[in-house]
Structure 1
Amino acid sequence: IAVSNKVTFVNPKAPVYPRLAQGKSWNEMTVTWTSGYDIKEAVPFVEWGEKAGRQFLSPAGTLTFDRNSMCGAPARTVGWRHPGYIHTSYLKDLWPDSMYTYRLGHRLPNGTRVWSKSYSFKASPYPGQDSLQRVVIFGDMGKAEADGSNEYNNFQPGSLNTTNQIIRDLDNIDMVVHIGDICYANGYLSQWDQFTAQIEPIASTVPYMIGSGNHERDWPGTGSFYGNLDSGGECGVPAQTVFYTPAENRANFWYATDYGMFRFCIAHTEEDWRPGTEQYKFIEHCLSSVDRQKQPWLIFLAHRVLGYSSNSYYGFEGTFEEPMGREALQELWQKYKVDLAFYGHVHNYERTCPVYQSQCVVNASNHYSGPFQATTHVVVGGAGASLSDFITSKIQWSHFRDFDHGFGKLTAFNHSSLLFEYKKSRDGNVYDHFTISRDYRDVLACSIDNCPRTSLAS
């Protein structure tokens, strides 16, 4: 019998899994990472600067949570494992589109510094900047391993394929938006480390923005809109701690982020979004406050399908949406001329025509031009979790459906040209696409149901 040498970690507390995210201003990047160092043991910081330029030191804040922060089992019982310490540093006053290097550090009481390896990122363009801008969007990816050794149910079979395709194309990606159902830890907290390790090549290089889904937030009696058990007792605490979002209140998980010519309005479907609520006011402000001359591409994102899906569950319910979804929001999408709305939750791909009140305002196409007519709704929830069936009948507003794992990609070439692509995770090839060509005067033009009322007297 052969016996190997004893295998140990060089430093089990070392800083790991850096995760970039957009800050609250366009020229700020945040870096979040995990370590075993309590703030009393070592001071966390980031060393960073332009490539071959002066290097700066920025301090980091530290968060963690304990078992009593969990809302129920298994997160509070058999699934509990201490998350370590989560550190976030804010890198400010960045030059647009400049390349920066950074590394994570901890200063011990004796003056010794513990370092991570070095990483690099490109700073965001300024709002309205006319440059090539590329954003990948998906939901429900989860995590997996090549041999499945840590999986008890193989629920996320497409996860590695999606991750690997994004890594292969990373030179052509500027930002990632993962709209909910992040890692499906479901109360087994070590799986958050498993997930952040899996996405490290992506999240350490480009901003990795997240939304919250039912598997992060939902738990009875905790204020979530749906009182089910889907979070496994986590009730949103790990998600809002492990990842940074530029939200005014990180527990709410709704926020706006600008990237060059894009304005992204990210809603939180596990909190009430109906008229009169705090979230509804945020959504309207996010949609209404953008300067479309500078940022022509207005994108709405949410985890559950607040728009349109012919998923079998929604079809059997007869709603083709999350109940009270588009009834509450479609007037806002139309009024403020939202180009695209993206959703996860349903584990497949589907694209609608430009649709309003369940009717195609114009026929679906691979190219749209001229004045805005209505919002196109896209389900991109097939990034990893087991696939969801469609109803067998074809719905008039449903243009393209795919029962497979995949993800979406937006490319803004300039202020008047936008490309959307749907890529399959198995090969990275494009299986659906469309373009929008539009001038600023086309955004100003009124569209169906948002033209001013006129009469003969006026």
Structure 2
Amino acid sequence: MRKLCLCIFLTISLFPQLLRAKEDDFVRQPPRRVIFTRHLRSDSDPQQVHISLVGKDHMKVSWVTDKKHCKSVVEYGKESGKYTAKATGDHTSYKYFFYSSGKIHHVTIGPLEPSTTYFYRCGGSDPEFSFRTPPSKLPLDFVVAGDLGQTEWTNTTLDHIQSIDYDVLILPGDLSYADTHQPLWDSFGRIVEPYASRRPWMVTEGNHEIEIFPIIYPTGFKAYNARWPMPYQESGSTSNLYYSFEVAGTHVIMLGSYAEFDADSEQYKWLQADLAKIDRKKTPWVVALLHAPWYNTNTAHQGEGESMRLAMEELLYRARVDLVFQGHVHAYERFTRVYNNEADPCGPVYITIGDGGNREGLALSFEDPASPLSLYREPSFGHGRLKMVNETHAFWGWHRNDDSNFVVKDQVWLQSLSSSKTCSRSVNQKVTSPTGNDEL
């Protein structure tokens, strides 16, 4: 009798997911448990090591030590154990109610040579780490992963990411899912260290980074800004919540969904100035990231990015931005080239990729019938890969997590808008096209 009841319960529980399964009979996976990764090194040893790009030939190395006297210094060189250069930096720490962070170190090293492996250690202590700098010219390989969290699904996604080499990881918000429980920031740093210490991770904020508490912490982002400072000053920004960087012929814009964005805001004025500086002859590709989607046919988070879209979409369109990656919705979706809710061959391709492995589970429900603008959508965990092949073409693929394996479920070739004769015409001319297709 118990076995019969269990079978009935499982059938009822899984039935909605079975209904949503695609023709390949893949059953949507449920959430998996949160993993808390403990600190197993000494109090003076570096932990939570991660790196980020600074300018065209520098790298920022960030880490945490429990002891406060440890020096903010990085030794590095091209051979293991032989450190021919050294740089010093600064440090910070913060308190959040009864939690006190360790000493958070940030050191910028360089100049560095492109496509070169460097070995380094932090604070004069082992262990030794290594990273490879990105190339100075195309081709270039990005990994895109959003809403990562720290669950068993997160580990699966990270293992899949590492199984194929890449140059830079970009993340459109929602990192640790600490949500004011500060030890989870430490745990997240330990989970991603084996990956983020080897390749640069460039991130922007999501709603789970806000961590506002009225009166006491009214501005939010206390932990995020202390732990994950990005090169915002180098791009002329006044806030760590939005910035840009360039790597190998690609200009990447990291927008802040949770910073002011109307026409009178600092972010809007910064974006105008940043886009105006791009030389598409030298930088043929422009990619943007943000958290709350501007285009979305999932029933989750409907309309949350609409006011930002109305404020900023025209700026991206006039600049001929090629792709926009979005997070927040825990599913995958790819749109055709779009502008102002219509298919437009000179608009960006919008891709929702908030499926890294978060603890909240998948957003299973999509609007029915599907919009003709939406070319592929699926509620599954996974990550994406964007290969900038040359000045005119790139290849995008979305890799779905199938337990211990990944399966490429969506892929498309993209042409840079800077190489399109149609889109190089005056932006004041309205460009029309048929409904969306996979020739982008």
What's the counterpart of residue 94 of structure 1? 112
Look up the equivalent residue of 1:15 and give its one-letter code.
P
Look up the equivalent residue of 1:403 and give its one-letter code.
P
| Displacement of 1:439 | 8.3
**2:139 equivalent among 132, 139, 159:** 132
| Displacement of 1:293 | 1.3
**2:310 equivalent among 318, 322, 327:** 327
What is the root-mean-square deviation of aligned Cα atoms in Å?
Answer: 2.6
The one-character-per-residue Cα deviations of 1:193-232 (angstroms, maximum 9, x if unpaired) are 1111111111010001111111111536689xxxxxxxx9
Q: 1:35 to 1:234 in 2, by over 3 A?
A: farther
1:143 and 2:150 are equivalent in the alignment? yes
**1:43 equivalent among 68, 71, 79:** 71
| Displacement of 1:361 | 2.3
Question: Which consecutive residues of structure 2, in runs of 5 or more, have no partner in the other structure?
Answer: 1-38, 432-440
Look up the equivalent residue of 1:12 and give its one-letter code.
D
What's the counterpart of residue 224 of structure 2? 239
**1:183 equivalent among 162, 176, 186:** 176
Q: Output aligned runs, 1:20-31, within 5 Å.
A: 20-23=51-54, 25-31=55-61
1:269 counterpart SS class: coil
| Displacement of 1:449 | 4.9
2:208 counterpart SS class: helix
Q: Determine the C-alpha separation between the residues in 2 that align with 1:10 and 1:403.
A: 38
Q: 1:47 to 1:65 in 2, by over 3 A?
A: same
| Displacement of 1:123 | 1.9
Larger deviation: 396-405 or 8-17? 8-17
1:257 counterpart SS class: strand
Residues 161 and 383 of structure 2 are in contact (CA less than 8 Å); yes or no, is this contact kept in structure 1?
Answer: no
**2:127 equivalent among 117, 122, 130:** 117
1:213 and 2:206 are equivalent in the alignment? yes
| Displacement of 1:425 | 2.5
| Displacement of 1:438 | 4.7
| Displacement of 1:167 | 2.2
What's the counterpart of residue 309 of structure 1? 296
The one-character-per-residue Cα deviations of 1:87-133 (angstroms, maximum 9, x if unpaired) are 01111211122221111124xxxxxxxx121111122333xx2x321
Q: Output aligned runs, 1:342-381, within 5 Å.
A: 342-362=325-345, 373-381=346-354
1:340 and 2:323 are equivalent in the alignment? yes
2:162 counterpart SS class: helix
Residues 178 and 208 of structure 1 are in contact (CA less than 8 Å); yes or no, is this contact kept in structure 2?
Answer: yes
The one-character-per-residue Cα deviations of 1:401-455 (angstroms, maximum 9, x if unpaired) are 01111111110111122111111133222111111235855368435853399xx
Q: Determine the C-alpha separation between the residues in 1 that align with 2:430 and 2:205.
A: 37
1:410 and 2:386 are equivalent in the alignment? yes
Q: Determine the C-alpha separation between the residues in 1 that align with 2:59 and 2:79.
A: 16
1:425 counterpart SS class: strand
Q: Determine the C-alpha separation between the residues in 2 that align with 1:424 and 1:178.
A: 17
Q: Determine the C-alpha separation between the residues in 2 that align with 1:9 and 1:404.
A: 33
**1:436 equivalent among 409, 414, 421:** 414
What's the counterpart of residue 32 of structure 2? none
Q: Determine the C-alpha separation between the residues in 1 that align with 2:267 and 2:332.
A: 27
**1:424 equivalent among 379, 400, 408:** 400
**2:154 equivalent among 156, 159, 164:** 159
2:383 counterpart SS class: strand
The one-character-per-residue Cα deviations of 1:129-186 (angstroms, maximum 9, x if unpaired) are 2x321111121110025xxxxxxxxxxxx322111211222xx211111211111101
**1:168 equivalent among 163, 171, 177:** 163
Look up the equivalent residue of 1:165 and give its one-letter code.
H
Q: 1:119 to 1:287 in 2, by over 3 A?
A: same
Look up the equivalent residue of 2:150 and give its one-letter code.
K
| Displacement of 1:55 | 1.2
The one-character-per-residue Cα deviations of 1:280-337 (angstroms, maximum 9, x if unpaired) are 11222222211111211100110111x200121455xxx4x52312211221121110
Q: Determine the C-alpha separation between the residues in 2 that align with 1:346 and 1:422.
A: 15
Question: Which consecutive residues of structure 1, in runs of 5 or more, have no partner in the other structure?
Answer: 1-7, 68-75, 107-114, 146-157, 224-231, 363-372, 454-458
Residues 139 and 344 of structure 1 are in contact (CA less than 8 Å); yes or no, is this contact kept in structure 2?
Answer: yes
Q: Determine the C-alpha separation between the residues in 1 that align with 2:53 and 2:140.
A: 15
1:347 counterpart SS class: coil
Q: Determine the C-alpha separation between the residues in 2 that align with 1:382 and 1:396.
A: 22
What's the counterpart of residue 93 of structure 2? 64
2:91 counterpart SS class: strand
Residues 177 and 208 of structure 1 are in contact (CA less than 8 Å); yes or no, is this contact kept in structure 2?
Answer: yes
What's the counterpart of residue 370 of structure 1? none
The one-character-per-residue Cα deviations of 1:246-293 (angstroms, maximum 9, x if unpaired) are 012675410101111211000111011121211011222222211111
The one-character-per-residue Cα deviations of 1:49-98 (angstroms, maximum 9, x if unpaired) are 2237761111131110123xxxxxxxx2xxx4322110011112111222
Q: Determine the C-alpha separation between the residues in 2 that align with 1:51 and 1:403.
A: 44
Residues 267 and 302 of structure 1 are in contact (CA less than 8 Å); yes or no, is this contact kept in structure 2?
Answer: yes
Q: Determine the C-alpha separation between the residues in 2 that align with 1:222 and 1:425.
A: 42
Look up the equivalent residue of 1:62 and give its one-letter code.
H
1:275 and 2:263 are equivalent in the alignment? yes
Look up the equivalent residue of 1:51 and give its one-letter code.
E
Residues 285 and 322 of structure 2 are in contact (CA less than 8 Å); yes or no, is this contact kept in structure 1?
Answer: yes
What's the counterpart of residue 55 of structure 1? 84
Look up the equivalent residue of 2:372 and give its one-letter code.
Q
2:296 counterpart SS class: coil
| Displacement of 1:378 | 0.5
Q: 1:438 to 1:375 in 2, by over 3 A?
A: closer
Q: Determine the C-alpha separation between the residues in 2 that align with 1:206 and 1:327.
A: 35
| Displacement of 1:377 | 0.5
